[in-house]
Structure 1
Amino acid sequence: MIGVAAPQYDPAAPESATTLPVGTPATVRAYIRELLRRHRGAFAILIGTNAVAVIASMVGPYLLGGVVEDLSAGARDLQLGRVAALFATALVVQTVFVRIVRLRGGMLGEEMLADLREDFLVRSVGLPPSVLERAGTGDLLSRITTDVDRLANAMREAVPQLAIGVVWAALLLGALGVTAPPLALAVLVALPVLVTGCRWYFRRAPAAYRSEAAGYAAVASVLTETVDAGRTVEAHRLGARRIALSDRRIREWTAWERYTLFLRSVLFPVVSVTHMTIMVSVLTLGGVFVLKDWITVGELTTGALLAQMLVEPVGLILRWYDELQVAQVSIGRLVGVRDIEPDAGDAGVRPSGRHVEADAVRFGYREGVDVLHEVSLSVAPGTRVALVGPSGAGKSTLGRLLAGIYAPRRGSVTLGAAELSRMPAERVREQVALVNQEHHVFVGSLRDNLLLARTGADDAELWAALGAVDADGWARGLDDGLDTEVGSGGLALTPAQAQQIALARLVLADPHTLVLDEATSLLDPRAARHLERSLARVLDGRTVVAIAHRLHTAHDADVIAVVERGRIAELGSHEELVAAGGAYAALWRSWHG
């Protein structure tokens, strides 16, 4: 059974399945120790109540062993009434404490699961923005959904049950050693079978479960990307290619599922053989020991019952330890964010002004492949700069560098002569804000969504912010006004309304420098033009870097930077660039007719 060869296939989970790191074994162990320290009081209560329940469960075998011993000695007065009363009392105590153990175990599991969720969320929102920007949607979703779901069962039951099983088995072995030491040696006959089988299994299981989890993340990522880009897939007739990719990812994932099932199909029979070996060795060797007068019949009876009771805790330990192999992978994926250094920055780095400057910047998302090449740009305070150019030229990347989301590979991006990459993230966000095409409406009231930008704002300020982005019209028409529930389960806002809420947050946050990456793209051209004129009054005096394909935005800017192939090809005002007859003039003629 133990020597069964692994399947011939060797499914490989894609290396690109995850973008956030998976926690190392050292990180996982450190986090588990931290959890145990947080809940050491609850663990102590759980182990204490479990010890009482186990000791009460051993009363029956001792009483029965005593009765058998008296019978073998020829005693006539067995005092069965006293024995029955003691057994009933022990049974009541065991029942009560088993119930307490289950209750305390469930509570402990829920508390640890809540801690894990909160720790993951707190750590995730504290990650550098560049890490979250690069993280794949499917990977993030699979961690917070699938991995948490897998951990739910482990935290609620596996950790408490494993602790219960270890205490249970230790007490039974101790009782067996005290009652009949030779029988304790008989139990060890099954140990080689169990150790060999478990060693074979646990050498293969962790890596297999990690690959299975990564394979599922790859499936989720492909499906999410395909759904999100459904119209693009249809427009470019990429359906067959996306289906083929999905099928390949699913095959890789199911291959690992089959392999982990194969591993379990070997382990479970080994456990069954171990149980049978324990009973056979105890009864066989115990009989020999009785014949040689090494132990009594009563001791054999008690020892055999205690050995039989070992079956349940050993099975419990192996069952939940196997569950923890899956949980360990999920914990590693959730606490993997701990391996990412937080973007603490240097608290001593402070901007001495509002001048934004990029100097000889080079940047790429992959090693050795630069998107921006020696880009230099100086933005004076209060200047409106428009970045224009073809798609994929690097406009959004440059905007994110100017907003402090990314740090340049070479060169520098400074605000008031202070490098943005060295400033603490919170300080950067106080100075510079980025608004792009992706907006999120949080579950809650409209007021709560706006107060995210400035928690102390009163209703008058909230309505003023909505008015500044032309959103007060539809907002005042809501039945409950600012108290209207929006988001999932509440009022479904249109993409344009969600974009207006994001811009209203920007007004409330009141940063002195803004990077607008197609911030009005979800509005129709006429509404977008009207909103931009309204925002222009609100943003007067602020530094604005606007990335846009609609050239009327560039027309209103003080300076226009034409980005082509990762370089600034032209720089100047609208009139200067049109007169120069270069790339911008060609764009203007084609757009304006």
Structure 2
Amino acid sequence: MSQASPVLLPIADGARTRAVVLGLLRPHRGPVLLAAVCLVGAAALSLVVAPVLGRITDLALAGAADAMAGPVALLAAAAIGQGVLAFAGLWAVARLGEQVLAAIREDFVARALALPLERIEQGGSGDLTSRITEDIAMVGEAVRTAVPDFAQSALVLALTFLGLTALDWRFALAALLAVPIQALTAGWYLRRSAPIYAERRAAAGGEQQQLLDSLSGAGTVRAFGVADAHVGLVGARIDRSIGAVVTVTLLQTRFFGRLNAAELLGLSAVLVTGFALVDSGAVKVGAALAAALYFAGLFNPVNSVLFLLDVLQSATASLARLVGVTDLPGGEPADLPAESAGGSIEVHGLRYAYVEGHDVLRDVSFTIPEGGSVALVGASGGGKTTLAKLIAGVHRPGSGTVLLGGAATTDLDPVRLRATVALVTQEVHVFAGTLAEDLRLAAPDATDEELWAALETAGLSAWAKALPGGLDTEVGEGSHGVDAARAQHLALARLVLADPAIAILDEATAEAGSSGSRALETAAARVLSGRTSVTVAHRLTQARNADLILVLDSGEIIERGTHDELVAFGGRYARLWEAWAAHRVHPA
């Protein structure tokens, strides 16, 4: 069966990326002005050194050693002033950059969390994770080093040419001989490197996606003996990334070779001009020395500016990927109340396909009244989880409708949808922080009493009371360990606090194992009491007490009814129950 190509998350264009950056800088006009003043002042003081050294040279040639004290003191003052202003300017730029970067991070995370899961799945989790890791890191590097260095170097370049002109316009003209080569080199490099950086970012996302797919499915890969094939797939993605890096490296080598040629031409021209002007008496030796020092002092700023274009270009490509996500529509209306649409579920003629032409669900229809319960039973691949996600609003139906309280899931805004239905899967997560903070993710305003009540309902209160700090105990990775069964109990406690009208458990008790299954299933029954529930049954005991059991096979409902009705019917469910009951009486 063919697979659909990933639909990667969007990437913003250059104009939109610049507009976002300017919008983030606009509230910080004061720090921007402070940084500009300090950096301009530092660059201006750096220009004092060359003419003062030239003055000292002229005094030395004239034998006026007694007059050197003033110029030497001026050198010291300029060095101190330059250091202070440069520190202040770079500090202001770095601080401003970190504030902007923090805003970008927060906007990105907020938008990513608000995205429909279906949209993330279309692009693959690797696309999203590479943006929040590698792209954020690249933008952070630019903010902390490249932007301040680039700004300072660009100012030194501009003011140095003013200094050369002040000495003698012919020095500036000689220095300009290097500019065409440098400009052509920069343009040549940027034209060739821009597509490579975009390819490199895309390759990084593909590499992470393949690693996640292969490692998360390691058990299946080993079971089918396709480890070598997956190693080959990972290797191909890595080779794609390495190829982009090698291409950039070769390009950089040629880039710096051309810049060295420009420096040689420009310095030679300045020295020849200085010799001619001194010989004609137009300038003194000190002025010629100052001009040579000015131009030599341009080597690092020029190379820095042109090389940092490389870093800034890569950071811009990363920033465009971040802005592409933050610009996605679908923000949650802040003024809408979190009111439930209602607890009834109506499914009519539902069809869904992950790949067009290969339906996962076909013509699925059923109704659950408010407060009712349904269990989904069937072999793996029958469409149970897909149906659960469609009811939860994770996916949009290909055709047909899913109504919650009479409202179509496709018409419900995210706030109202979350107030109506909650999905708890087998893959639950314990967030780093205190136990109270973990619970309050579902209900930020919940009191301690409400937290303890939720833990009691979820069968976790005894464990929580035994913790060193009770609700204030740090849990999650690196803190107090929470095993898989208790993590599922904790997810059920969050479900109690969220208090949705409809609760969906997609094998949410599967990780408990035989020893903890009874306690977890008992807790799940208490949590689901009084609310409409859909249970993807991992054990048939979960289905036995449901008001309606749906047996799915190849995306279709092949049997429906209560437990007693289906056992009496003698079909697929009856055979499953007979095998399950025999296994429980005579366990292997």
> TM-score, normalized by length of structure 1?
0.89
Aligned: 1:215 with 2:174: no
2:31 match: 42
1:407 to 392, 396, 404: 396
1:531 match: 520
- Distance in 1 between residues matched to 2:211 and 2:350, nearest whole Å: 36
**8 Å CA contact retained: 2:139, 2:319:** yes
**8 Å CA contact retained: 2:8, 2:123:** yes
Aligned: 1:481 with 2:470: yes
**Structure 2 vs 1, CA of residues 261 and 135 (structure 1 numbering), >3 Å: closer, same or farther?**
same
1:310 to 294, 298, 302: 298
Aligned: 1:83 with 2:65: no
> TM-score, normalized by length of structure 2?
0.90
- Distance in 1 between residues matched to 2:427 and 2:481, nearest whole Å: 16
User: Which region of structure 1 is more displaced relative to structure 2, 551-560 or 111-120?
Assistant: 111-120
- Distance in 1 between residues matched to 2:565 and 2:13, nearest whole Å: 57
SS at the partner of 2:149? helix
Aligned: 1:164 with 2:145: no
- Distance in 1 between residues matched to 2:523 and 2:432, nearest whole Å: 28
**Structure 2 vs 1, CA of residues 572 and 333 (structure 1 numbering), >3 Å: closer, same or farther?**
same
2:192 match: 204
Aligned: 1:560 with 2:538: no
Specify the code of the residue in structure 2 equivalent to 1:313.
P
SS at the partner of 1:370? strand
1:230 match: 218
C-alpha displacement of 1:107: 2.5
Specify the code of the residue in structure 2 equivalent to 1:543.
T
**Structure 2 vs 1, CA of residues 30 and 65 (structure 1 numbering), >3 Å: closer, same or farther?**
same
User: What are structure 2's unaligned runs of at least 5 residues?
Assistant: 583-588
2:140 match: 152
2:126 to 133, 138, 152: 138
Aligned: 1:321 with 2:293: no
**Structure 2 vs 1, CA of residues 581 and 24 (structure 1 numbering), >3 Å: closer, same or farther?**
farther
1:21-420 matches, cutoff 5 A: 21-66=10-55, 79-134=67-122, 136-289=124-277, 297-342=285-330, 344=332, 353-420=342-409
- Distance in 2 between residues matched to 1:132 and 1:249, nearest whole Å: 20
User: What are structure 1's unaligned runs of at least 5 residues?
Assistant: 1-14
- Distance in 2 between residues matched to 1:570 and 1:189, nearest whole Å: 85
1:9 match: none
- Distance in 1 between residues matched to 2:480 and 2:342, nearest whole Å: 42
Specify the code of the residue in structure 2 equivalent to 1:249.
R
User: Which region of structure 1 is more displaced relative to structure 2, 20-29 or 272-281?
Assistant: 20-29
Deviations 1:505-530 (A, max 9, x none): 11111111111111111112463244
**Structure 2 vs 1, CA of residues 380 and 124 (structure 1 numbering), >3 Å: closer, same or farther?**
same
C-alpha displacement of 1:67: 5.4
C-alpha displacement of 1:504: 0.8
- Distance in 2 between residues matched to 1:78 and 1:311, nearest whole Å: 34
- Distance in 1 between residues matched to 2:356 and 2:279, nearest whole Å: 77
Specify the code of the residue in structure 1 equivalent to 2:40.
A
- Distance in 1 between residues matched to 2:340 and 2:65, nearest whole Å: 95
1:580 to 562, 569, 572: 569
- Distance in 2 between residues matched to 1:566 and 1:18, nearest whole Å: 24
- Distance in 2 between residues matched to 1:483 and 1:71, nearest whole Å: 75
- Distance in 2 between residues matched to 1:16 and 1:216, nearest whole Å: 17
RMSD: 2.8
SS at the partner of 1:255? helix
2:585 match: none
1:391-470 matches, cutoff 5 A: 391-470=380-459
**8 Å CA contact retained: 1:349, 1:422:** no
2:586 match: none
Deviations 1:411-466 (A, max 9, x none): 22222222222222011111111111111111111121112112232333222222
- Distance in 2 between residues matched to 1:434 and 1:278, nearest whole Å: 68
**8 Å CA contact retained: 2:11, 2:320:** yes
SS at the partner of 1:376? strand
SS at the partner of 2:310? helix
- Distance in 1 between residues matched to 2:402 and 2:541, nearest whole Å: 28
1:512 to 479, 492, 501: 501
**Structure 2 vs 1, CA of residues 149 and 496 (structure 1 numbering), >3 Å: closer, same or farther?**
same
**8 Å CA contact retained: 1:350, 1:418:** no
C-alpha displacement of 1:184: 1.8
SS at the partner of 1:523? helix
**8 Å CA contact retained: 1:180, 1:300:** no
Specify the code of the residue in structure 1 equivalent to 2:315.
A
**8 Å CA contact retained: 1:18, 1:139:** no
- Distance in 2 between residues matched to 1:428 and 1:68, nearest whole Å: 79
Deviations 1:53-91 (A, max 9, x none): 12212222223444566789x796983222222222222
1:546 match: 535
- Distance in 2 between residues matched to 1:590 and 1:556, nearest whole Å: 18
**Structure 2 vs 1, CA of residues 258 and 77 (structure 1 numbering), >3 Å: closer, same or farther?**
closer
- Distance in 1 between residues matched to 2:227 and 2:308, nearest whole Å: 42
Matched positions, count: 578
C-alpha displacement of 1:156: 0.3
1:495 match: 484
Deviations 1:7-57 (A, max 9, x none): xxxxxxxx9688433333333222222233244332221221111112212
Identity score, percent: 38
**Structure 2 vs 1, CA of residues 480 and 78 (structure 1 numbering), >3 Å: closer, same or farther?**
closer
- Distance in 1 between residues matched to 2:558 and 2:154, nearest whole Å: 70
2:579 match: 590
- Distance in 2 between residues matched to 1:60 and 1:359, nearest whole Å: 82
**8 Å CA contact retained: 2:349, 2:364:** yes
- Distance in 2 between residues matched to 1:296 and 1:333, nearest whole Å: 55
SS at the partner of 1:363? strand
Specify the code of the residue in structure 2 equivalent to 1:217.
G
**8 Å CA contact retained: 2:54, 2:289:** yes
C-alpha displacement of 1:350: 7.6
